[in-house]
Structure 1
Amino acid sequence: MCTPVKGRGRVRLNVGGRMFETTAATLASAGRDTMLGAMLDAAWNNSDCTVAADEEEYFIDRDPDCFAVLLDLLRTGSLHVPPHVTDRFLCREALYYGLLDAVRAARWGPLDGDRLCLAASVPGTATGDGTAVRAAPDGGLCVAHGGAVRVYNWVLEERRPVNLHHAPVNDAAYLDESTLLLAARDRPGGGGGVAAFSALTGDLTHRYRVSHDRQVRPFTPGALAFDPHRGNIFASCKGRFNEYGIGVWDSTAGEQVGFLYEPPGCALGDADKLQWIDGTGTLMAATMFPRTDSSFISLLDFRDKNGVAWSWSDVGTPASSMEDKHVLHAVAMDDGQSLCVINQYDDLGFLDIRSSGNASGGVRWRSRSKLAAATRKKQKRNAPPQRAHGEEETCYPKLAAHGGQLFASTGDAISVFSGPDYVLTSTLRGSDGAGAICDFSIGGDRLFALHDEVNVVDVWETPPAPVI
């Protein structure tokens, strides 16, 4: 049993044969739920730590170089890693000492789009182009490639992939840092639907079923969303027997708890973007051009038997206001009062969701917020985005809102808009020659951008604030 050092409050540690001396206060700053903090508790016991006979020295049978890095982090709040200490090695030792969260916090600060720096690039290892990237809550990520999903931990080490046996993945989401949710296309013989997998091992943990008339029905999910407060999972669904709409499941029990059937004119089953909005307690469902001939956006309230609390579509709007302005992507803003949309000509528009939907001129287009993506080839007006080799183009503009900032990708760049008026404040461009950005995702205080041509993911981080 390790007992606290008596007397002067100084602690001597022999780590793997190398001597360190620090104070009890420094060790206590790690927290009582860590190994080093718990060493000061007389009830603590660990076989890897022994006390010398004179009870003035602790021996810990671990790597001294990594311990020096972690001790300096406790002393200064800064993380300085020598070249010979790899991220993988440091991660392993930090996990042992219970300091992994402290290392993460020191490695990067809260995400600020105007201070983001390109930290790494993850080359693709799967055959075929990646189609979607998703950020994990802890700073890891996954990349979908057809029926396979590559998974990485927060130090960007590749874990065991998830293989859906040729069922193409339509969307992915993280329930937590160790649980990955996938939506895959229905295929004869099964394999599609919504399922949860371990992000650690790639193993299937649960399938979420759709029942109709007390019978389990096959279906193809399009988009996914998750309400972390209530634990509900949402997916847009297209069934073989006209079960079109939004399915709802309890992530804890794993059972279906609702299904909102598609009302006329909403195209819920075809929705390719779902987003839970905490402020309003509603789900945004967006079906966007060119997936359908027109764009549909709805806010769904599952507490209301009618389901649709607000809706907007470009159907029936004056041609003069909507011509050439088909919506390609949408995102609910952090204020919970508006939506931002983008068209194929890089115009940003805003919809006030507090007003009645489908009003004439409902989108306030802002050409002055034109995105900075000079390398993207402009499409001819009066024509939809082009398709290559008979396949649907995947590198459409994408949007995300985070921390009061708006992020928009076009071509090989991501534009950042800040302030109450969302003024363009910075532009992110990553790997040279990597091609257009086909998807990006924000999570774990990182931004991941997936390029199509070389199948590489750029990793953007905000440097930590200097320690004064």
Structure 2
Amino acid sequence: MPPFAGLDSNPARIRTKPDSNIVTVDVGGQIFQTTQQTLTLGGPKSLFSRVSESPFIDRDPELFSILLSLLRTGNLPSKAKAFDLEDLIDEAQFYGVEPLLVNSLSNPAQFDAFNLEKLQVLPLNGRDSPSAIATTPFGSVHVAHGSKITSFDWSLRRKSTVLTDFTAVDSLLAISPSLAAAGATDFSGLQILDLENGFVRESLDWENVTRSGSTVQGIGSSPEFLFASFESGRRNSNSIMVYDLQSLRPATEIGHCEIYGADIDSAIPATKLNWVSGYGLLMASGSHSGPSGVFGNIKFWDIRSGNVVWEIKEKVDCFSDVSVSDDLSGIFKVGVNSGEVFFADLRNMGAENSWVCLGDGRKVVNGKKEGVGCKIESHGNQVFCSKGGDIELWTEVMMGNSKKREDGLGERVFRKNLMGRVKDMGGSKITNLAFGGNKMFVSRKDQQNVEVWQSSVRGF
């Protein structure tokens, strides 16, 4: 018998009361009653919307009960934890309601920074450690390790690996659960990869003056555009290309620099690109290490005019890493010398001496380079900074009677917390932090895996 039996096979098994929207259906020999409105919440293409057409469904009644509760409340009932997630996914796919299951189990709104624990480790094939991690909003993740990219679906149960043309992938951006942009510092071109079918959909290049080939230094995106920072093969020019995210056709070019002589500032390509949606600006940052120390710059670009709106030149305690937060209206960096976290208020854009040290300011001039390799990322209303094998969590504390500064803005206070249980802390040096769905992904030096941190109360 097919899973959905015809209406004429046993019309007594399904009843819709006259002048009522109550629907009665038999699933695997168990009778369920619900309303037509509840069934339509599955969407017009789901089988739930057509349940009233079939008197008998030859499927597991217990799993049907779980999915029916999902329709009614938008959340899985507590008894769902008694079932294997793979069974729930298969059943949700059969009924055509997997998006509802994804929304219930991997919704970004469920992210709880103060309750994160290391709950899972995703193993990678081969001997290479992760060089880049890219995530999608609902938790699927792509991991670059060596010349390979391994993808996990939103449930982290389904895994696939593709081999790229690169010797090692240095930059990776998830365009969709099955599409990614990838680049390398020693291989020309930005490749758009179909990770589901394992082929290069398109290769994008920047044609520099010397026609020496151009390598990718960083990748970013906005809802409309794809950004790629290129450097010429001879390292005497660099630029940021802006592509239409849908067609992948070039939209504009910004920050084109030709380097002459000892023009060090122009010689620094952007290695990190972040879109600041609240301000409609692109943050591009890059640094250089030389005999006289580490120096760099942070530029905020108006991509429509091609102008720099704000530039911060870094010389004293240059950033080891930098991040920007729309939710907090701020830029955050970890100093390469001090290893401390600094904050600059985006509402005071253009101000001189904009950095405020959130930690021990005395370390700024110590020259010990305690921040080398530290990573910093913002997510929601929190900022995460790796220190060796540990992670600091920075949050803003709202002060009722905060003092007014000279610029008229209220003084802002941030507090630090150490993350994780005692057994989660320490370990090898953290090399990547990424966020997707209700999870945080962490990679460590010389480890061929990715850690999954998630709220224990949300874990399935």
TM-score range for the pair, normalised by the shorter chain length: 0.7 to 0.9
Pair 1:363-2:375 in alignment:
no
Select which of 52, 68, 73 maps to 2:70.
73
Change (3 A) 1:346 1:170: same
Pair 1:20-2:31 in alignment:
yes
**Residues 208, 214 of structure 2: 8 Å contact kept:** no
Matching of residues 23-422 of structure 1 within 5 Å: 23-25=34-36, 27-28=38-39, 30-33=41-44, 35-39=46-50, 51=54, 58-75=55-72, 77-80=75-78, 85-108=83-106, 110-187=110-187, 192-211=188-207, 218-228=213-223, 230=224, 232-240=225-233, 242-260=236-254, 261-262=256-257, 266-267=265-266, 270-288=269-287, 290=289, 293-305=294-306, 307-315=307-315, 322=316, 325-335=317-327, 337-344=329-336, 345-353=338-346, 355=348, 359=352, 361-367=353-359, 381-384=366-369, 396-420=373-397, 421-422=413-414
Q: Deviations over 1:421-468 (max 9, x none)?
A: 2212451367577522211101222211112243332212236689xx
Provide structure 1 residue ranges, at least 5 long, that are not aligned to the other structure.
Answer: 43-50, 52-57, 316-321, 371-377, 387-392
1:173 is displaced (CA, Å) by 0.8
**Residues 369, 424 of structure 1: 8 Å contact kept:** no
Provide structure 2 residue ranges, at least 5 long, that are not aligned to the other structure.
Answer: 1-5, 398-412
Q: Secondary structure of 1:128's match?
A: coil
- TM-score, scaled relative to structure 1: 0.78
Q: Secondary structure of 1:183's match?
A: strand
Which protein has the bigger helix share?
2
Q: Secondary structure of 2:32's match?
A: strand
1:79 is displaced (CA, Å) by 3.6
CA–CA separation in structure 2 for the residues paired with 1:125 and 1:225:
27
- TM-score, scaled relative to structure 2: 0.79
Percent same amino acid among aligned pairs? Answer: 22
1:341 is displaced (CA, Å) by 0.7
**Residues 129, 449 of structure 2: 8 Å contact kept:** no
Q: CA RMSD in A?
A: 3.4
Q: Deviations over 1:316-351 (max 9, x none)?
A: xxxxxx2xx231011112247431111243311122
Aligned residues: 419
Query: What amino acid maps onto 1:348 in structure 2?
Result: V
Q: Deviations over 1:262-302 (max 9, x none)?
A: 27654476222110111221111111354983121111122
**Residues 268, 288 of structure 2: 8 Å contact kept:** no
Change (3 A) 1:21 1:285: same
Change (3 A) 1:169 1:139: same
Query: What amino acid maps onto 2:367 in structure 1?
Result: N
CA–CA separation in structure 1 for the residues paired with 2:391 and 2:221:
25
Query: What amino acid maps onto 2:70 in structure 1?
Result: L
**Residues 133, 144 of structure 1: 8 Å contact kept:** yes
Q: Deviations over 1:171-203 (max 9, x none)?
A: 11111223211122344xxxx421212243333
1:238 is displaced (CA, Å) by 0.7
